[in-house]
């Protein structure tokens, strides 16, 4: 999208027993995301990352006790309100988390005192966010605190929070105050009128209303002491109804509270405050609520989970994205006023204030396929939102001078256009920028029709298509009839002045994506209308009268289908993205690396508009959407990939890009590219790679991640008989399991690598010199100095024979026939080593070869064991100086074994140190004797250097630049076995 410039005892959490993968400063397990320490600089981004929700509302991962510069937010679906004269946005609702904890007179705050231990966990399997802290107060009192929270998936208007506190080295008074903050704001703007507040028994309640949309919200809360008897008082200062519980706790005693909140709006019921009060009074205990919540999550995962074996990082990242999709989708709410089909998934879900909670094409093209194929009832609800906003689309079409329904680029409650006409500026002297996407990025109407058709094909839901979907497809088709232009000179229909899926070029003519999708849309409009006439003639007649579908209009649609211009020269080259694209100045994006912003930000909007550079796939997006048609065979995809992929700003242009590239690269057999792009999409928020996670989750990217797994790596095609898999899994993936719903029947897929026997690589053993760094020069200088002192002939050419050879064997090679006593040889070896050790003190991480650190980090993240197998007795020192000790599990050096290479002993010792059988290890070597040692030990090998030296290896590479685990896996599966013939 084009972003508007405005766009029991409390204990410390224990790590799960499953494999832990550390990625940067987060820890991944199969089901749990762990933050092991607090970094205030990442506060707001992590508030987004640790968002929880239930599809009715979302609550950011802000701290219960607060923190400076935090951005707490709870967003409820459909709770839109106006900022007068500026825009419409989701209103931030009252903060239900707020706790004030006072320990012996000192307020607990993480920006004060000392954090001794910290850990935050998001349990994706059960939808629970937990935080555990050991904190020492400014005056020296030490306390353990644990917080758990959930937003009930079984009862969407119920929220739960538990706080447990254990004094460690003192006894004293602990006071916990709980409030409902009646003055939430949207970055300074207050959307709420205060109506009333009060208490009822041991509970509090709040009644407020949005200023413009007049949506009323009611909340009620109660707090129960646990661990010991305590007195709870209810107060009502100003607009902060407050619950206060005081404990007298002794060292080692755990005390705490359980807080339960209910929330209703006038969108759900007529009297939200009374509903919240009644619900709160009827609720069972906190443990029962929590158990029901966990059971609901179990049912969700049974239908929608994806299981990946062999890649813990990908497993957690995929589940995390699915979790965020579900908690951002509209839930099934039972209420007298409720119609959950009147809301949809905002571009930032309910996790942040980015894009003001507006709905884009992201939902239909990127997010909806996940729900259509795993949660079809939710998909139906999301699509019905578009039906309910048809009137807004009609108003936009009429206002723009067209007929039919023209969907808004940014939509909220009514379907009217929410995109600002001009950028909103903070600088009073800057010039405002016209935001053209509101007027020109009109492909969204066909994107929605595409989603409607796909939903019908997958579910067979004829009734929904009759009552809702057909009208969407038909009325938007009428819009296209009025929007196309006849070019008399070329005798064809055209679409001029549009913005395609690539948003770097504004007001172009005949965008291939738009034109072909419009043609497809009109074809389906005819098909749907004919189906209605045959199956539901009364409905067909009703729509014909209301939408003025006459025989003349139907004939006109056929003419447009036949004569609309589709810029397709696929037989001779790539499809031109729009008229004149190939005449624009070309670009080599690598010329602008490294960079930390989009190419548009580097070049400026005007210059970018004149270049062959894309924000996100356009022609490639078209080929993806049309992938199951015979229109674009594989060679067409290859031609267009080769042309457009290098010209797409996939790193900083749009988060919508990497997942689509991953799918297409997978189809083309580009394994490394596919996996790289897939992981870029999967971790965009977890690692905040674009620097804007604080604004909210990248929902479209999350949906794209699911599509990359299912349509990319699993190769799912949607045939008339159902989904069919043609898998091309990343080589590290030993298993991929998921389920898809097709016309009321569940299809289970349990996929494994396509090769009969996957290469089960579990460990890598690296030589140091010539592989990770160049210590050969230091060795050479030390030997040369020794040779000069002893008057021995020696030069660089002679040094080549010493590659991979032990120190003693090297010395014997240098002295040749000259006779030395054993003591003299020992002294010479010690002298050479002294010279070498002196010289390697200057080694730094900058001495690592290009590609080395990237491969080591990739192996570590994949759970691969890493060892060093070096004949050098100084290998440990070199590893320390290179700064990679944290990535190495074991070091086998010249002191580890008696026999040097080509004997396999050194590598066998390294394999034993990392607990692996030799046939599960790969040796990376640059010396002939090293490759021979690997083969003799029954290990696979990668030779670094010329084939004349390391040609006996399974794989030969000039260096480690661009080497990826998945490519190594694939090549080793196909590589012939290597053997060493015995010496006679």
Task: Clarify whether 893 is annotated catalytic.
Answer: no
Residue among 229, 185, 182 at smallest CA distance from 204:
182
Catalytic residue among 144, 148, 767, 893: 767
Buried-exposed string 26-51: b where 16+ CB fall within 10 A, e elsewhere: bbbbbbbbbbeebeeeebbbbbbbbb
Residue 492 among known ligand-binding residues:
no
Catalytic residue among 123, 769, 905, 967: 769
Instruction: Give me the phi and psi of 194, to 5 degrees please.
Output: -85, 120
**3-class SS at 483?**
helix
> Which residues make Cβ contacts (< 8 Å) with residue 854, sequence separation at least 6?
960
Residue 719 among known ligand-binding residues:
no
Residue 737 among known ligand-binding residues:
no
| CA atoms of 361 and 376, how far apart (whole Å) | 19
Burial class of 760 by CB neighbour count within 10 A (0 to 12, 13 to 18, 19+): exposed
| CA atoms of 854 and 836, how far apart (whole Å) | 28
Going by their DSSP bridges, the two strands 492-494 and 203-210 should be labelled as unpaired
> Which residues make Cβ contacts (< 8 Å) with residue 801, sequence separation at least 6?
813
Residue 701 among known ligand-binding residues:
no
> Which residues make Cβ contacts (< 8 Å) with residue 734, sequence separation at least 6?
309, 310, 752, 753, 758, 760
Residue 95 among known ligand-binding residues:
no
Residue 851 among known ligand-binding residues:
no
Concatenated DSSP letters of 395-443? HHHHHTT--S----SSB-SS-S--S-SB---SSTTSPP-B-THHHH-TT
Question: For 209-311, where are the alpha helices, taking DSSP H only?
Answer: 272-282, 286-304
Residue 769 among known ligand-binding residues:
yes
> Which residues make Cβ contacts (< 8 Å) with residue 283, sequence separation at least 6?
158, 260, 262, 289
Note whether 275 and 194 are within 8 A (CB).
no
Residue 872 among known ligand-binding residues:
yes
| CA atoms of 951 and 323, how far apart (whole Å) | 48
Residue 925 among known ligand-binding residues:
yes
Residue 199 among known ligand-binding residues:
no
**3-class SS at 453?**
helix
Task: Clarify whether 767 is annotated catalytic.
Answer: yes
| CA atoms of 650 and 756, how far apart (whole Å) | 35
Buried-exposed string 239-253: b where 16+ CB fall within 10 A, e elsewhere: bbbbbbbbbebeeeb
Going by their DSSP bridges, the two strands 114-123 and 955-957 should be labelled as unpaired
The contacts found for 107-116 with CB under 8 angstroms, 24 or more apart, are: 107/65, 108/65, 108/135, 108/137, 108/143, 108/145, 109/65, 109/66, 109/67, 110/38, 110/63, 110/65, 110/67, 110/135, 111/40, 111/67, 111/68, 112/137, 112/138, 113/137, 113/138, 115/38, 116/142
> Which residues make Cβ contacts (< 8 Å) with residue 623, sequence separation at least 6?
632, 636, 637, 640, 664
Residue 331 among known ligand-binding residues:
no
Residue 837 among known ligand-binding residues:
no
| CA atoms of 221 and 242, how far apart (whole Å) | 9
**3-class SS at 784?**
helix
Residue 804 among known ligand-binding residues:
yes
Note whether 62 and 94 are within 8 A (CB).
no
Angle between helices 671-682 and 657-667 (to 10 degrees): 160
Residue 768 among known ligand-binding residues:
yes
**Residue in this structure with the two tokens 């139906």, named with its chain if needed:** 380
Residue 361 among known ligand-binding residues:
no
Residue 628 among known ligand-binding residues:
no
Q: Tell me the C-alpha to C-alpha distance, in Å, between residue 144 and each of 80, 121, 135, 251, 406.
A: 40, 16, 6, 11, 57
Concatenated DSSP letters of 664-697? HHHHTT-HHHHHHHHHHHHTTTTTTTTS-GGG--
On the CB side of 267, CA atoms within 13 Å amount to 21
| CA atoms of 318 and 520, how far apart (whole Å) | 32
Catalytic machinery residues: 767, 769
Binding-site residue set: 767-769, 783, 802-807, 810, 832, 870-874, 901, 925-926
Binding-site residue set for Mg(2+): 767, 769, 925-926
Binding-site residue set for substrate: 767-769, 783, 802-807, 810, 832, 870-874, 901
């Amino acid at each position: 999208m084009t972003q508007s410039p405005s766009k029991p005892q409390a204990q410390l959490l224990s790590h799960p027993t499953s494999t832990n993968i550390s990625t940067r400063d987060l820890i991944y397990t199969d089901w749990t995301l762990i933050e092991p320490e607090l970094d205030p600089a990442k506060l707001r981004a992590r508030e987004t990352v640790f968002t929880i929700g239930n599809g009715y509302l979302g609550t950011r991962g802000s701290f219960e006790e607060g923190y400076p510069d935090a951005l707490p937010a709870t967003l409820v679906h459909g709770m839109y309100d106006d900022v007068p004269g500026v825009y419409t946005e989701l209103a931030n609702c009252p903060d239900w988390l707020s706790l004030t904890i006072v320990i012996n007179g000192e307020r607990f705050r993480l920006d004060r005192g000392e954090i001794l231990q910290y850990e935050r966990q998001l349990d994706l399997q059960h939808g629970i966010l937990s935080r555990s802290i050991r904190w020492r107060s400014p005056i020296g009192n030490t306390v353990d605190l644990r917080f758990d929270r959930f937003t009930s998936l079984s009862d969407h208007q119920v929220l739960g929070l538990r706080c447990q506190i254990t004094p460690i080295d003192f006894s004293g008074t602990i006071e916990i105050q709980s409030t409902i903050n009646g003055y939430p704001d949207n970055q300074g703007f207050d959307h709420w009128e205060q109506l009333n507040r009060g208490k009822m028994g041991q509970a509090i309640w709040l009644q407020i209303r949005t200023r413009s949309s007049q949506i009323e919200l009611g909340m009620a809360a109660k707090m129960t002491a646990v661990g010991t008897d305590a007195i709870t008082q209810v107060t009502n200062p100003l607009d902060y109804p407050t619950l206060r519980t005081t404990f007298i706790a002794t060292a080692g005693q755990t005390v705490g509270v359980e807080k339960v909140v209910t929330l209703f709006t006038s969108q759900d019921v007529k009297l939200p405050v009374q509903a919240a009060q009644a619900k709160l009074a009827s609720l069972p205990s906190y443990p029962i609520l929590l158990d029901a919540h966990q059971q609901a999550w179990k049912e969700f995962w049974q239908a929608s989970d994806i299981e990946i074996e062999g890649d813990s990082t990908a497993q957690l990242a995929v589940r995390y994205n699915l979790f965020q999709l579900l908690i951002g989708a509209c839930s099934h709410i039972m209420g007298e006023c409720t119609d959950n089909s009147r809301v949809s998934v905002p571009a930032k879900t309910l996790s942040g204030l980015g894009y003001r909670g507006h709905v884009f094409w992201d939902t239909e093209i990127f997010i909806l396929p996940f729900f259509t194929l795993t949660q079809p009832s939710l998909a139906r609800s999301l699509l019905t939102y578009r039906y309910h906003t048809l009137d807004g689309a009609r108003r936009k079409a009429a206002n723009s001078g067209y007929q039919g329904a023209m969907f808004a680029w940014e939509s909220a409650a009514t379907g009217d256009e929410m995109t600002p006409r001009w950028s909103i500026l903070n600088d009073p002297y800057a010039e405002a920028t016209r935001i053209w996407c509101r007027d020109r990025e009109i492909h969204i109407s066909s994107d929605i029709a595409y989603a409607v058709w796909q939903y019908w094909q997958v579910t067979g839901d004829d009734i929904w298509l009759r009552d809702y979907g057909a009208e969407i497809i038909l009325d938007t088709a009428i819009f296209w009839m009025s929007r196309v232009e006849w070019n008399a000179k070329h005798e064809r229909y055209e679409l001029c002045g549009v913005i395609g899926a690539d948003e770097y070029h504004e007001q172009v003519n005949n965008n291939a994506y738009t034109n072909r999708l419009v043609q497809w849309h009109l074809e389906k409009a005819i098909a749907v209308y004919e189906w209605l006439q045959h199956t539901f003639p009364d409905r067909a007649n009703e729509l014909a009268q209301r939408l003025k579908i006459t025989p003349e209009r139907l004939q006109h649609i056929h003419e447009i289908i036949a004569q609309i211009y589709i810029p397709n020269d696929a037989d001779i080259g790539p499809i031109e993205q729009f008229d004149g694209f190939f005449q624009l100045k070309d670009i080599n994006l690598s010329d602008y690396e490294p960079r930390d912003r989009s190419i548009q930000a580097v070049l400026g909007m005007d210059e970018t508009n004149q270049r062959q550079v894309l924000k996100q796939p356009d022609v490639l997006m078209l080929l993806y959407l049309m992938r199951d048609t015979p229109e674009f065979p594989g060679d067409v995809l290859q031609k267009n990939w080769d042309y457009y992929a290098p010209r797409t700003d996939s790193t900083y242009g749009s988060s919508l890009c990497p997942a689509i590239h991953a799918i297409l690269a997978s189809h083309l057999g580009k394994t490394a590219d596919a996996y790289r792009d897939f992981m870029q999409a999967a971790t965009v928020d977890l690692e905040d790679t674009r620097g804007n996670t604080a604004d909210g989750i990248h929902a479209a990217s999350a949906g794209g991640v699911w599509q990359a797994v299912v349509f990319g790596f699993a190769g799912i095609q949607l045939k008339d008989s159902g989904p069919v898999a043609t898998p091309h899994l990343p080589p590290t993936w030993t298993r991929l399991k998921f389920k898809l719903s097709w016309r009321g029947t569940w299809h289970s897929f349990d996929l494994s690598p396509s090769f009969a026997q996957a290469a089960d690589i579990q460990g890598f053993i690296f030589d140091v010199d010539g592989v990770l760094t160049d210590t050969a020069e230091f060795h050479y200088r030390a030997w040369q100095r020794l040779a000069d002192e002893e008057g021995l002939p020696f030069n660089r050419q002679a040094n080549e024979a010493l590659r991979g050879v032990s120190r003693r064997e090297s010395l014997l090679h240098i002295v040749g026939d000259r006779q030395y006593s054993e003591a003299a040889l020992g002294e010479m070896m010690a002298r050479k080593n002294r010279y070498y050790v002196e010289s390697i003190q200057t080694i730094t991480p900058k001495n690592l070869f290009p590609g080395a650190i990237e491969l080591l980090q990739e192996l570590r993240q994949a759970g691969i064991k890493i060892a060093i197998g070096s004949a050098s007795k100084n290998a440990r020192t070199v590893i320390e100086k290179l700064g990679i000790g944290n990535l190495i599990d074991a070091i086998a050096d010249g002191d580890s074994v008696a026999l040097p290479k080509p004997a396999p002993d050194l590598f066998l010792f390294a394999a034993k140190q990392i607990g692996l059988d030799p046939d599960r290890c790969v040796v990376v070597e640059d010396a002939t004797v090293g490759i021979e040692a690997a083969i003799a030990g029954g290990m696979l090998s990668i030779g670094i250097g010329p084939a004349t030296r390391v040609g006996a290896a399974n794989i030969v590479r000039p260096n480690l630049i661009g080497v990826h685990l998945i490519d190594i896996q694939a090549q080793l599966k196909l590589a012939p076995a290597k053997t060493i013939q015995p010496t006679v």
